[in-house]
Every structure is written in structure tokens, then in C-alpha cells.
């Protein structure tokens, strides 16, 4: 039998890396098990001439399409939004757009302000030191002073506006609407051993330059130097418990597929809003027949995705196409509740700079604006290199019927039951998306765009996996307490997006990592009575 470790972290992505790094200073024996492996930037898509084609196969954002041995399948047939993720050291920070807004202070008080959902048991101010620390380690670029966003202090200047930015900014100014250069985790100058962005463009499916921050090149090297052990290609099947209801360790399959047991004094789950409830439900036992940490019955429930309403069009002027990071600007014009719009809460906007030629051809043919036959060439030259896009990140409110359960049939390559998603877009979200599409059309038309198309929702837009093990002070209405510890299992913690109470209208990774650092800090402060 293996020697027990002090802390066992499951998952080496955004939150697992952050919590590992933070806890390393305790000098405890910390082990992280990750089902994926280390990435090799020399194999990233942008290093080859077939860089765009890979997006439809081995570098798809969907684990179901990608089907790498490290991936696990997800039954999302009963959802208009499909789950996208990545499984490796770095997790989905390997494959993300690096857009880096934070939740707003008001997002933590939704019930109080708008009478819907629940307030968080923590607030924005409590997270500020951890946002700041995280921004420093991940390395952010942007422009301080946005009047409609929380004040941030990016250590690097913003990305260039390029060709697309001025087109969007001019249109927004004509409309009198807010816009601002996005905070991103794209390094715009050499930073902490990372080379500056050289505009490879195709950087969502991993950055060969290393300019886009992912935790395999930020947190992990530091955590490992500080003594954290990271064991790759280890897929955890279940968390085990003893007669006192305490976690005792995990059963996992090692890189050779051999079943192993790793005892641990503390278990931290960092598997995202789908992987975490899946693991908890797969850890059911006679003592916890409905799944581990699930006395509330809320494990897997309240799944929030952020339905993306996207609208795009084509301008006469050349845009950045694939020659820049995909996002550079945001707008918070419609972020806060205005009941005259017919819905509660709101959405952030991220603007898209353009697309590469293959993506443009495939997408435009599918939309019916790129014809077959002799006119194909003329139309393609009108479209290619002329796209600008408006994507609204609509705040999804928690609803228990939106959930993650275990699929009765589907299993991963290790024989572990897979996750099943049941999700519908709510009436409030629907109204919000319609509003966003109408405003997006105004923006595009003001910019002079034609051939306007929509993705409503972006079908493979389930990037943000939130709410399925939410935090709260009431054990009957939440899965973990206000510092991330399971109400039911006193040595079990959750630090990923599962703990979100509400979703806000922004990309969540910055807030996920700030929460992971906050939970780690709380653990360090309570080491002597962690299990009380």
C-alpha cells in the first residue's frame, strides 16, 4: 500500500494548479493526480500547415470529437450547448481564449439586488488579494481604469487594437456604448520566462509561443519546484471514505491502466463543473448512497453554462482574420439588470477579430452565404478576412433541472460511468440572448457589416462549467461551505467552478482561480482545526 499523502489534489487544470501552488509553502506532502499528460508545444496546431484542419479533429474543443485517450466522453445529447474542455496538465487553460474578466462585486449579491437565485457566502472584496496574486502569476495584459469593470492592474499593456479593434470601437462610439480593451492572459511583453505574443492567431487550441498563459507553464513549474508531486495519466475513479465519513483517499487507474489506491489525509477536487459532480456521484457508497458530499441532493444540479449568443458579419475593410488573438475588446454596456429590457441580470460582450480561411469557408458554407459553383470564389474573397463578431456571454441563473448525472450506459476508456448533461435554456436567458442579438446587429450594422449570421447559442460553447457543487452556509442548500469544505465530509474540498453560486456574465477562469487561492488560504489559516 502506498504511503498516505497529506493533501491529494484531483485535476491539474486552472484551479488544481493554483491550489497546489498556494499550499506548497506549507511543506506538506502534496500530490496531484491528473488524467492527462504534459503538453508538447512543438505539436500545437499553429506549428503546421494543417493548423486549421486540426481544429475539427484531434484539436477539437469537444472531448467527444477529440477522443484522445486522456479525454472522457460526455453525453450531452439532451443539451443545446455541448461541453467543451481539455484534459492535460493545464486543463482547459491549454485550450481557451485567454479572455480574463472577473466577476463583478454585484455578481455576489444577486438575490439581494435582483431577488433571484442566491447570494454568495463570500464577496468580491474577500477575493481581491487572490485576484491580484493570480493575475501576477498567470500574467495578464490589459488597460487599467475601465469605468464599468472592477479595477484591475494588469502588469502588461493591452493587445494592439489591430485592424478589427478600431472598426468595433468606432461603431460602439457611434452608438454611445461602453467598450474597453479586454484583460487577457496573453503576454504582450516578455514576462516571467514567457515570450511575448507574436500573433500566431490560432491560439485558442494552445499557444506554441507560450505567450498565452496556461497553468502548465505558470503555476505548475513553480509548484513542482516547491515540492508538489504531479502524477500524470492517472484517472481517479472514486474517493473512498471510512466509517466516520472522512475521506481516506482515492482509487485511480495509473498510466498502465492498473488500479491503485492512494491514501490521503485531505482530498481536494479540481475537476470542473462536470468532472467534479461525476466523481462525487461515482463515489457513492453504503454510507453515501446518493453520492459523496450529497446530503443536500445538489451535487450535479444547478449547472450553469453561459449561453453564448453570437452574431457576426462582414465589413468592407480588412480585419485581423487569423493574424491576432481572437478576442481583444469587451463591453459591459448591458451587464447589469435593467428590467425594462424584459429580463433580469445581463451579459458581457466579447468581440471577435476574425477567422482563418478554412474556418471561414466551412462556417460560411454551412450558413448558406458561401455558394457552391462558379460564384464561390468571388463570394469567398468578399468574406475571407472581413469578419467581425459580437459574442454575448449571458448570465445563466441556477436551475436544479439543469444537471449533471451519471449516464447509465456510457463509460470512459477506464470503464468509469460517464457524465450525462440535461440542460435547457431558460426563458430569462432566452430573452437575454434575443436582446443581445438585437444589440449585436446594431453594432455590426453601425460598423457597416453585411451578410449577418448568428449562432444562437454557439452549440459547442459549453466552456464554462459552473454551479454543480455550490458553496453556501446552509448544508441543505449547498454542497461546500463558505471556504470550500464539504458540509458532509470534513476533509474534502472543492475548488473549481462547481462551487459558483451564480455565474455572472463573464468568462469565469479568473474567478475560479481566485477562489482556489482563497480556499487554499483558508485551509492554511485553519490547519490546526481544519476538520472541526
Partner 1 sequence: MPDQLALTPRQRDDLRTIAAMIIPASDEYKVPGADDPAIQADMLATLGRDTVLVRQALDHLARLAGQPLSELDVAKRDAVAQEFRSSGGAAAATLVRVVLQCYYRDDRVLRSLGLELRAPFPKGHVLPDGDWSLLDPVKARAGSLRRAP
Pick from 170, 222, 414, 450: which binds partner 1 (CB under 8 A)? 170
Q: Does 209 bind partner 1 (CB under 8 A)?
A: yes
Pick from 14, 39, 44, 253: which binds partner 1 (CB under 8 A)? 44
Q: Smaller CB distance to partner 1: residue 173 or 525?
A: 173
Q: Does 320 bind partner 1 (CB under 8 A)?
A: yes
Q: How far apart are CA 485 and CA 493, in angstroms?
A: 4
Q: Does 109 bind partner 1 (CB under 8 A)?
A: yes
Q: Smaller CB distance to partner 1: residue 48 or 297?
A: 48
Q: Smaller CB distance to partner 1: residue 99 or 487?
A: 99
3-state DSSP assignment of residue 151: coil
Q: Does 149 bind partner 1 (CB under 8 A)?
A: yes
Q: Which of 465, 461, 416 is nearest to 62 (CA)?
A: 461
Instruction: Enumerate the H helices of 190-268 as residue ranges.
Output: 219-225
Least gap, CB of 358 to partner 1 (angstroms): 5
Q: Does 372 bind partner 1 (CB under 8 A)?
A: yes
Q: Does 124 bind partner 1 (CB under 8 A)?
A: yes
Instruction: Enumerate the H helices of 253-293 as residue ranges.
Output: 272-282
Cell numbers standing for residue 408:
447509465
Piece in contact with partner 1 (CB under 8 A), picked from 72-80, 253-261, 375-383, 401-409: 375-383
Least gap, CB of 65 to partner 1 (angstroms): 9
Q: How far apart are CA 335 and CA 465, in angstroms?
A: 20
Pick from 15, 92, 106, 509: which binds partner 1 (CB under 8 A)? 106
**CB under 8 Å to 368, separation ≥6 — which residues?**
none
Task: Determine the angle formed by the axes of helices 376-383 and 357-367, rounding to 10 degrees.
Answer: 120
Q: Are the C-beta atoms of 280 and 469 separated by less than 8 Å?
A: yes
Q: Which helix (H) or strand (E) holds 136?
A: helix 124-138
- HSE at residue 188, side-chain half, CA atoms within 13 A, is 20
Pick from 63, 142, 165, 273: which binds partner 1 (CB under 8 A)? 165
Q: Are the C-beta atoms of 459 and 82 separated by less than 8 Å?
A: yes
Least gap, CB of 336 to partner 1 (angstroms): 5
How many chain residues interact with partner 1 (CB under 8 A)? 70
Residue corresponding to grid cell 449547472: 303
Pick from 68, 178, 341, 477: which binds partner 1 (CB under 8 A)? 178
Task: Determine the angle formed by the axes of helices 427-446 and 164-175, rounding to 10 degrees.
Answer: 110
Q: Does 308 bind partner 1 (CB under 8 A)?
A: no
Q: Smaller CB distance to partner 1: residue 108 or 130?
A: 108
Q: Name the maximum alpha-carbon separation found in the chain.
A: 75
Piece in contact with partner 1 (CB under 8 A), picked from 1-9, 224-232, 376-384, 436-444: 376-384
Q: How far apart are CA 77 and CA 295, in angstroms?
A: 28
Least gap, CB of 376 to partner 1 (angstroms): 5
Least gap, CB of 197 to partner 1 (angstroms): 8
Q: How far apart are CA 405 and CA 279, in angstroms?
A: 10
Of 49-78, which residues contact partner 1 (CB under 8 A)? 49-53, 56-58, 67
Pick from 258, 374, 427, 529: which binds partner 1 (CB under 8 A)? 374
Sheet strands (E) in 219-374: 229-231, 235-241, 247-253, 259-269, 308-314, 327-331, 347-352
Pick from 179, 288, 305, 351: which binds partner 1 (CB under 8 A)? 179
Of 325-354, which residues contact partner 1 (CB under 8 A)? 336
Q: Which helix (H) or strand (E) holds 452?
A: strand 450-455
Pick from 36, 101, 150, 417: which binds partner 1 (CB under 8 A)? 150
DSSP string, 373-407: STTHHHHHHHHTT-EEEEEEEEPPPP-TTSEEEEE
Least gap, CB of 82 to partner 1 (angstroms): 13
Least gap, CB of 176 to partner 1 (angstroms): 7
Q: Does 108 bind partner 1 (CB under 8 A)?
A: yes
Q: Does 161 bind partner 1 (CB under 8 A)?
A: yes
Least gap, CB of 51 to partner 1 (angstroms): 6
Q: Does 305 bind partner 1 (CB under 8 A)?
A: no
Q: Smaller CB distance to partner 1: residue 104 or 301?
A: 104
Q: Which of 513, 160, 441 is nearest to 327 (CA)?
A: 160
- 126-151 per-residue burial string, b: 16 or more CB within 10 A, e: under 16: bbbebbebbbebbbbbbeeebeebbe
Cell numbers standing for residue 103:
466577476
Cα distances (angstroms) measured from residue 115 to each of 337, 342, 345, 469: 11, 15, 10, 21
Q: Smaller CB distance to partner 1: residue 201 or 275?
A: 201
Q: Does 202 bind partner 1 (CB under 8 A)?
A: yes
Least gap, CB of 177 to partner 1 (angstroms): 9
* Contact residues: partner 1, CB under 8 A: 44, 46-53, 56-58, 67, 104-106, 108-109, 112-113, 123-124, 143, 145, 147-150, 159-163, 165-166, 169-170, 172-173, 176, 178-181, 197-202, 208-209, 320, 322-324, 336, 357-358, 361-362, 365-366, 372-374, 376-377, 381, 384
Amino acid at each position: 500500500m502506498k504511503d498516505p499523502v497529506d493533501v491529494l489534489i484531483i485535476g491539474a487544470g486552472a484551479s488544481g494548479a493554483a491550489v497546489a501552488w498556494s499550499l506548497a509553502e506549507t511543506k506538506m506532502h502534496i500530490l496531484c493526480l491528473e488524467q492527462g499528460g504534459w503538453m508538447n508545444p512543438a505539436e500545437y496546431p499553429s506549428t503546421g500547415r494543417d493548423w486549421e484542419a486540426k481544429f475539427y479533429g484531434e484539436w477539437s474543443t469537444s472531448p467527444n470529437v477529440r477522443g484522445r485517450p486522456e479525454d472522457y466522453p460526455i453525453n450531452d445529447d439532451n443539451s443545446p450547448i455541448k461541453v467543451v474542455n481539455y484534459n492535460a496538465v493545464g486543463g482547459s487553460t491549454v485550450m481557451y481564449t485567454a479572455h480574463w474578466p472577473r466577476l463583478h462585486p454585484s455578481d455576489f449579491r444577486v438575490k439581494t439586488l435582483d431577488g433571484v437565485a442566491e447570494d454568495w457566502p463570500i464577496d468580491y472584496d474577500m477575493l481581491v488579494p487572490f485576484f491580484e496574486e493570480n493575475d501576477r502569476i498567470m500574467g495578464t495584459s490589459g488597460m487599467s481604469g475601465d469605468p464599468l469593470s472592477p479595477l484591475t492592474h494588469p502588469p502588461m499593456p493591452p493587445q494592439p487594437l489591430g485592424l478589427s479593434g478600431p472598426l468595433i470601437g468606432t461603431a460602439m462610439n457611434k452608438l454611445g456604448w461602453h467598450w474597453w480593451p479586454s484583460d487577457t492572459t496573453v503576454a504582450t511583453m516578455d514576462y516571467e520566462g514567457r515570450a511575448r505574443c507574436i500573433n500566431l492567431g490560432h491560439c485558442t487550441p494552445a499557444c506554441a509561443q507560450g505567450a498565452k498563459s496556461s497553468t502548465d507553464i505558470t503555476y505548475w513549474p513553480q509548484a513542482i519546484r516547491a515540492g508538489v508531486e504531479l502524477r500524470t495519466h492517472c484517472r481517479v475513479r472514486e474517493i473512498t471514505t471510512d466509517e466516520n465519513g472522512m475521506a481516506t483517499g482515492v482509487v485511480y487507474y495509473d498510466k498502465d491502466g492498473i488500479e491503485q489506491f492512494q491514501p490521503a489525509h485531505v482530498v481536494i477536487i479540481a475537476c470542473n463543473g462536470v468532472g467534479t459532480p461525476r466523481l462525487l456521484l461515482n463515489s457513492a457508497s453504503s454510507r453515501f448512497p446518493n453520492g459523496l458530499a450529497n446530503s443536500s441532493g445538489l451535487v450535479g444540479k444547478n449547472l450553469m453554462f453561459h449561453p453564448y449568443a453570437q452574431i457576426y458579419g462582414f465589413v468592407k475593410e480588412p480585419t485581423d482574420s487569423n493574424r491576432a488573438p481572437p478576442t481583444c475588446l469587451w463591453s459591459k454596456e448591458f451587464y447589469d439588470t435593467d428590467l425594462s429590457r424584459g429580463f433580469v441580470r445581463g451579459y458581457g460582450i466579447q468581440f471577435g477579430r476574425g477567422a482563418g480561411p478554412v474556418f471561414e469557408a466551412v462556417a460560411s458554407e454551412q450558413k448558406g452565404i458561401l455558394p457552391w459553383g462558379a460564384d464561390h470564389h468571388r463570394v469567398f474573397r468578399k468574406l475571407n478576412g472581413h469578419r467581425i463578431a459580437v459574442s454575448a456571454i449571458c448570465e445563466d441563473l441556477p436551475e436544479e433541472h439543469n444537471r449533471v448525472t451519471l449516464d447509465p450506459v456510457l463509460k470512459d476508456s477506464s470503464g468509469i460511468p460517464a457524465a450525462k448533461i440535461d440542460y435547457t435554456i431558460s426563458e430569462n436567458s432566452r430573452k437575454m440572448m434575443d436582446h443581445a442579438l438585437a444589440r449585436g446587429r446594431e453594432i455590426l450594422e453601425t460598423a457597416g457589416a453585411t451578410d449577418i449570421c448568428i449562432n444562437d447559442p454557439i452549440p459547442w460553447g459549453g466552456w464554462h462549467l459552473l454551479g454543480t457543487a455550490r458553496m453556501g452556509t446552509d448544508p441543505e442548500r449547498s454542497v461546500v461551505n463558505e471556504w470550500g469544505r464539504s458540509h458532509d465530509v470534513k476533509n474534502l474540498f472543492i475548488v473549481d467552478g462547481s462551487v459558483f453560486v451564480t455565474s455572472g456574465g463573464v468568462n469565469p477562469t479568473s474567478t475560479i482561480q481566485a477562489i482556489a487561492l482563497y480556499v487554499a488560504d483558508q485551509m492554511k489559516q485553519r490547519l490546526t482545526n481544519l476538520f472541526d
